[in-house]
Structure 1
Amino acid sequence: MKFTIDILGVFLKIVIRINKSQFAPLVVSTLFILLTSLLAHCARRLVQNLVKEPFVRLLFEEAIAAAELCGCCFELIVVADNFGVATYAVFLFALTVWWSLNWGDATACPYTHLEDIIEGKGDIRQALLKVWAELAGGMLVFKYVQLYWALEISDTHKDKAIEDCTADLQVPVMYGAIVEGVATCMCRIASRALGDINPRFATAIDSFIGTSLVVAVLATSLKAGCHGHTLGEHALVYWVGACAGSIVSVYIYKLPAVQQYVKGPVEVNGDSIWAGKED
């Protein structure tokens, strides 16, 4: 606890000093994202040391991962709104690499648990508990974000803690659900292929693919209840659409043609471009 308080104290001193220097907004957002990731990292290590039962530990890790994901992405909304999609993409790419290296077995993605059920790697009870843990982590972290925004250290956070949000979905709901489903399907197929092929820099490639898809559709599940669509429409796009795309990806990836393409040798001038493939 003292360690966390010390971190918060140092953080506040840094952002206050930076704010006085008049180049605060982007740096303040960056420092908040770094603080959120650091606190999640400390919480993850604490759980790993204290919780011995593997599945219970995984539930805590899923909650922490979801809290870290949502906490960072709430601030990324500020980054995107004030500094553009390109800056948002750079931040998201770096975070995706960090998450892939630190989350372990946690995913913070409900549809991956659905894939596990289909492939016989998990049961419905475990999947529901993981989803519940992720929802709990994602919902609880908003209070933490609101507390930070209420400090209004930067002009980009002015009235942010109390303002009404606007939905990102600016297209017909069915079209949005289809786009979300296709994007999720493509992302999951690419991730599975990278896992099987295991090329050099697989983590960076996977992160780039995921970032590109998110930026392409500007989809976020952080705006349930915002003005612009109902909760039912939100669920149709970001839950039904994403889950449907994830399920379809399982069956597409198992197609013989896809398996042959993925696992067959890929050569350029006689040299394999994948690590682990013999020339």
Structure 2
Amino acid sequence: MAGLNVSLSFFFATFALCQAARRVSKALLPGGVYASFAQEAMRVLVELGPWAGGFGPDLLLTLLFLLFLAHGATCDGATANPTVSLQELLLAEASLPHTLLTLAAQGLGMQAAHTLTRLYWAWELSDLHVLQSLMDAHCSSALHTSVPHGMLVEGACAFFFHLTLLRFRNSLPIYRVPLVALLVTVMAYTAGPFTSAFFNPALATSVTFHCSGHTLLEYTQVYWLGPLTGMVLAVLLYHGRLPRLFQRNLLYSQKNKYRTPRGKLAPGPRDTQTPAEGCRSREPVWRGVGR
């Protein structure tokens, strides 16, 4: 119970620290810098909390659900996920400089989170953290399946995650935030035994890339290429095209917006003539000559 209290304290303290830093950054930094850099760095920092705490699976899933609920309500649209930032670029909703700045912020937040986690373990506030501190240099890989299967798992998780974001992006937060949190929790429970279900390259890089068991290329294929492929397929399926690259719809036929009404045409002036008038109108002109 003492270890659990320490871990929970770390989780909530990290979240409170990041929220305070977010508010200070919002007040001091220009709006564009805050939107694309500071809030992303803060969210990456807090998102590492459950994995840094050394929680059990049940508690981890519960905290993961609560974490996404809190993020959806308080993080001002920050994603802490490179694939979401690249999705905005593909949708032509963000410029290339803005996307690069956001990715740099996510990388900075990842490094800050990793440093904070090691410092937290070094305090050895519980027996579990003593063990984690000792095993940090010899951690085991989060990838417990083959590389092709791992790519498929991470790609499928990213596909459903991004498809849900696209489908419910204009919905009210009271519906969208719990739905996304529930989806992430279910996928973490289902795919967790295979790849830990990160479908977030920044988070996976911080948590498992330094662990032994697989090469850097194998980690990159599973935790970067897999989620990026899933994201691109989700955008392509939802929009039928990649707006940044193609103007023409590649999957769905374009229907004419203005349809021609069906039915009989309204009678014109010539159609309203009586049969007799029609006959008189067709009388040869030469008959009237000379009269």
TM-score, normalized by length of structure 2?
0.74
Please state if 1:58 is matched with 2:32. Answer: no
Residue aligning to 2:209 = 224
Residue aligning to 2:82 = 110
C-alpha RMSD over aligned residues: 2.1
Matched residues in 2 for 1:41 and 1:129: separation? 21
Q: Which amino acid aligns with 2:129?
A: H
Alpha carbons of 1:56 and 1:90: their partners in 2 closer, same or farther (altered >3 Å)? closer
Identity %: 24
**Which 5+ residue runs of structure 1 have no aligned equivalent?**
1-22, 260-279
The Cα of 1:144 is off from its aligned counterpart by: 1.4
Please state if 1:173 is matched with 2:173. Answer: no
Matched residues in 2 for 1:124 and 1:166: separation? 36
8 A Cα contact 1:58 1:105, kept in partner: no
Residue aligning to 1:141 = 113
Deviations 1:235-258 (A, max 9, x none): 1111110011011101111259x9
8 A Cα contact 1:66 1:134, kept in partner: yes
The Cα of 1:200 is off from its aligned counterpart by: 5.3
**Secondary structure in 2 matching 1:229:** coil
What is the correspondence of 1:90-129 to structure 2 with a 5 Å cutoff? 90-129=62-101
- Aligned counterpart for 2:122 among listed residues 144, 147, 150: 150
**Which 5+ residue runs of structure 2 have no aligned equivalent?**
199-203, 241-248, 253-291
Between stretches 116-125 and 247-256, larger displacement belongs to 247-256
Matched residues in 2 for 1:99 and 1:246: separation? 21
The Cα of 1:42 is off from its aligned counterpart by: 0.4
Residue aligning to 1:79 = 55
Please state if 1:188 is matched with 2:166. Answer: no
Alpha carbons of 1:92 and 1:143: their partners in 2 closer, same or farther (altered >3 Å)? same
Matched residues in 1 for 2:65 and 2:35: separation? 27
Matched residues in 1 for 2:239 and 2:36: separation? 28
Matched residues in 2 for 1:198 and 1:112: separation? 19
Q: Which amino acid aligns with 2:88?
A: D
Residue aligning to 2:185 = 211
| Count of residue pairs the alignment pairs up | 230
Please state if 1:236 is matched with 2:221. Answer: yes
Matched residues in 2 for 1:176 and 1:26: separation? 31
Alpha carbons of 1:160 and 1:200: their partners in 2 closer, same or farther (altered >3 Å)? closer
Alpha carbons of 1:56 and 1:199: their partners in 2 closer, same or farther (altered >3 Å)? closer
